[in-house]
């Protein structure tokens, strides 16, 4: 039973890590590029105006 639980924990941890990497490095940058290309420029201009 202990080996089963340990293996299950390892599988679940791997799945969580995989989903995190997928969303962090694949989905999020692609969505950022396609959905709002001018966002970085607006943030930069707003930061300069706030000084």
Q: What angle do CA 49, 50, 51 make, to 5 degrees?
A: 95
Look up the pTM and report it. Answer: 0.54
At 1-51, the pLDDT tens digits run 799 999 999 999 999 999 998 888 887 777 776 667 677 788 888 888 877
37/26 Cα distance (integer angstroms): 16
Token pair recorded at residue 19: 């989903």
Report the pLDDT value the prediction gives residue 15, as an integer from 0 to 100: 97
């Amino acid at each position: 039973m202990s080996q089963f639980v340990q293996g299950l924990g390892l599988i679940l941890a791997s799945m969580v890590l995989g989903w995190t990497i997928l969303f962090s490095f694949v989905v999020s940058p692609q969505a950022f590029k396609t959905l709002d290309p001018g966002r970085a420029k607006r943030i930069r201009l707003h930061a300069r105006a706030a000084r």
